[in-house]
Amino acid sequence: MSPLFPALAARSQRPALRFGDRALTHAELADAAGSLARRLAGERRVAIWATPTLGTAVGVVAALLAGVPVVPVNPRSGERELAHIARDSAPTLVLAEPGVTLPPALAALPRLDTDAGTGAGEEAPEVFTEPSPEAPALIVYTSGTTGPPKGAVLPRRALTSTLDALADAWQWTADDVLVHALPLFHVHGLILGILGPLRRGGSVTHLGRFDTAGVARELSSGATMLFGVPTMYHRIAEALADDPALAEALAGARLLVSGSAALPVHDHRRIAAATGRRVVERYGMTETLMNTSVRADGEPRAGTVGVPLHGVELRLVDESGAAVEKYDGESVGEIQVRGPNLFTEYLNRPDATEAAFTDGWFRTGDMAIRDPDGYVRIVGRKATDLIKSGGYKIGAGEIENVLLEHAGVREAAVTGEPDPDLGERIVAWIVPAHPEAPPTEQELADHVAGQLAAHKRPRTVRYLDALPRNDMGKIMKRALHG
Ligand code: MCA
Ligand code: AMP
């Protein structure tokens, strides 16, 4: 069994995964994923239809055991996004839960159900050759400012180094039981939320979908840690006033962790006031996995993402390209990082890979300051055309292109607007092709959801006679919110 998962090799009888009434111990997972892995061995690359279900976890572990790179696909991807990912990643096989009907872009591929291995325990266990630490483990698609999403190639050493650095920062052990409801096609939910507990030999309960009742139930019946995006903590903060059981459950947790976007200080405070517990923030990115965190044994401080994780080098660089040396809580620079946690490349995009690095440092595009004791505070982002909504990164250009394909749209611009629940809300500014009969808000939301993904749909549409443009004809987005 792969050294990625010592508890599988040790055939631990402790719980590993629970999704509703489906659960596996580490030993059972070793059998299920092991026999699925035998069927995957030799494949060049597999896609997985990443529903929030047990089969997705088993399928990803199987691919990792077999040493076959795996591409998690959002099961709510629209046609265009799916076609792009299928074309770009060119999987030789697709894994899916039994009974799932796959859309055309994937249906033509050979398919293996994620339960294909179960019941095959009588087969002799196979010892898979462990690939090199540099070998690709996962390819995770992430949006940029323009163009379709890029596949970040994550090597095996990035997974192990980030998960072990988090274990160090959070004192995360085999005794921890994690609960979360994050999607399984991104780093947060899949790598931290599923592979993390498995690597520790601990366990995870996935709620299937987020609700505060599920969080309260699990934290009051044995779960020790909660992972969530700020939107989830905001909804918890809102519910706390009328839900003493939720407050009690959170108060009993060992660690509450937030990430993927900034958790507003107001929500930090409301949760601390109602539960006596401080939410710990960590900062990461698909391309870098985790960079910094407030440590479990460190001082929790709202509004900061803590200190660099073990093995991660972090520097701030100002606009002239010079390193910001001051730890004064006010000198701003772009966060650049270096370390074993980094991706190796964007799949099929050497141009984009090259542009992402400077002297071996990865440019995150996030702007930050450092407190005198080294705590990092993120203060903004370089690109205005990147929107973080519900913890998802969304490129404005991608949505604009799809809106422009709608027959009722003459011009389109997309921006992010502050939103108490989602952090940012996607706003589409539309010049209708036929002002007397403009497309409705619902029609445009459905169009974007159908082509890209549900979370990329505009939540607000504003209709204009013309978009504000400068002398060069470029849309002046800053003038839109005027
Ligand atoms: C409404 N719905 C529609 C439409 N209108 N669906 C399709 N087309 C439409 N026009 C439906 C949705 O399908 C869904 O159905 C329901 O309305 C609500 O969906 P949505 O609006 O997406 O939900 P939400 O309430 O806005 O979701 C909030 C959320 C979600 C649960 C917090 O945003 C979320 O899961 N975020 C996690 C993001 C994440 O994991 N990011 C990590 C990447 P139904 O009711 O059936 O669901 S960042 C990362 O990995 C880095 C490394 C890091 O640092 O972590
Ligand atoms: P993604 O590309 O979807 O992996 O998102 C990565 C981005 O999420 C980072 O570049 C940050 O802008 C943002 N992010 C992640 N964690 C945090 C955090 N704790 N606070 C603020 N921003 C965060």
Query: Taking residues 354-383, what's their average pLDDT?
Result: 97
Ligand 1 closest atom vs CA 140? 50
Q: What are phi and psi of 87, to 5 degrees?
A: -70, -45
What percentage of the chain exceeds 70 in pLDDT? 98
Decide if pLDDT at 117 tops 70. Answer: no
Decide if pLDDT at 443 tops 90. Answer: yes
pLDDT band at 126 (very low <50, low <70, confident <90, very high): low
In a domain, 24, yes or no: yes
Ligand 1 closest atom vs CA 182? 40
Weakest mean pLDDT among 125-139, 179-193, 244-258, 436-450: 125-139
Q: Tell me, what's the pLDDT at 145? A: 86
Q: Residues 47, 94: contact at Cβ < 8 Å?
A: yes
Q: Tell me, what's the pLDDT at 371? A: 97
In a domain, 261, yes or no: no
pLDDT band at 329 (very low <50, low <70, confident <90, very high): very high
Query: Taking residues 380-400, what's their average pLDDT?
Result: 95
pLDDT band at 87 (very low <50, low <70, confident <90, very high): very high
Q: Establish how many alpha carbons lie within 13 A of residue 211's alpha carbon, considering only the half-sphere containing its beta carbon.
A: 5
Q: Of 165, 189, 213, at which residue does a domain stop?
A: 189
Global model pTM greater than 0.75:
yes
Decide if pLDDT at 315 tops 90. Answer: yes
In a domain, 260, yes or no: no
Higher-scoring residue by pLDDT: 391, 383: 391
Query: Taking residues 36-57, what's their average pLDDT?
Result: 97
In a domain, 392, yes or no: yes
* Residue with CA closest to ligand 1 atom 23: 455
Q: Tell me, what's the pLDDT at 118? A: 59
Best mutation site among 185, 260, 343, 367 for ligand 2 pocket (most ligand atoms within 8 Å of CB)? 260
Weakest mean pLDDT among 273-277, 409-413, 478-482: 478-482
* Residue with CA closest to ligand 1 atom 26: 390
Decide if pLDDT at 125 tops 60. Answer: no
Query: Taking residues 17-42, what's their average pLDDT?
Result: 96
Residues β-bridged to residue 429: 413, 462
Report the alpha-carbon distance of residue 267 to residue 126 in Å, rounded.
49
pLDDT band at 81 (very low <50, low <70, confident <90, very high): very high
Q: What is the CA(342)–ligand 2 centre distance, in A? A: 15
- Rounded to the nearest integer, the mean pLDDT of the chain is 95
Report the alpha-carbon distance of residue 155 to residue 152 in Å, rounded.
10
Domain count, the chain: 2
Decide if pLDDT at 122 tops 60. Answer: no
In a domain, 368, yes or no: no
Query: Taking residues 171-184, what's their average pLDDT?
Result: 98
Report the alpha-carbon distance of residue 349 to residue 299 in Å, rounded.
41
Query: Taking residues 265-289, what's their average pLDDT?
Result: 97
In a domain, 270, yes or no: no
Q: Is 388 helix (H, G, I), strand (E, B) or coil?
A: strand
Report the alpha-carbon distance of residue 218 to residue 91 in Å, rounded.
37
In a domain, 220, yes or no: no
Query: Taking residues 356-376, what's their average pLDDT?
Result: 97
Best mutation site among 394, 457, 459, 460 for ligand 1 pocket (most ligand atoms within 8 Å of CB)? 457
Query: Taking residues 234-240, what's their average pLDDT?
Result: 98
Q: Of 161, 189, 217, at which residue does a domain stop?
A: 189
Q: Tell me, what's the pLDDT at 123? A: 57
Q: Tell me, what's the pLDDT at 205? A: 98
Where residue 44 sits, what CATH number does that domain have? Answer: 3.40.50.12780
* Residue with CA closest to ligand 2 atom 15: 260
Decide if pLDDT at 13 tops 80. Answer: yes
Q: What is the CA(283)–ligand 2 centre distance, in A? A: 6
pLDDT tens digit sequence for 180-225? 999 999 999 999 999 999 999 999 999 999 999 999 999 999 999 9
In a domain, 154, yes or no: yes
Q: Is 117 helix (H, G, I), strand (E, B) or coil?
A: coil
pLDDT tens digit sequence for 135-151? 999 999 999 888 899 99
Residue range(s) defining the domain that contains residue 126: 6-189
Give the max Cα distance, the chain: 73
Ligand 1 closest atom vs CA 188? 50
Element holding 289 (H helix, E strand) = strand 289-293
Residues 6+ apart with CB under 8 A from 474: none
The CA-atom distances, in angstroms, between 83 and each of 86, 96, 104 are 5, 17, 9
Closest CA to 92 of 64, 122, 126, 69: 69
Q: Tell me, what's the pLDDT at 119? A: 53
**Degrees (nearest 5) of the Cα angle 260, 377, 298?**
90
Higher-scoring residue by pLDDT: 159, 300: 159
Q: Of 189, 212, 244, at which residue does a domain stop?
A: 189
Q: Give residue 86's identity as a one-letter amino acid code.
A: A
Give burial (CB, 10 Å; 0-12/13-18/19+) of 433: middle
Q: What are phi and psi of 345, to 5 degrees?
A: -170, 165
Where residue 435 sits, what CATH number does that domain have? Answer: 3.30.300.30
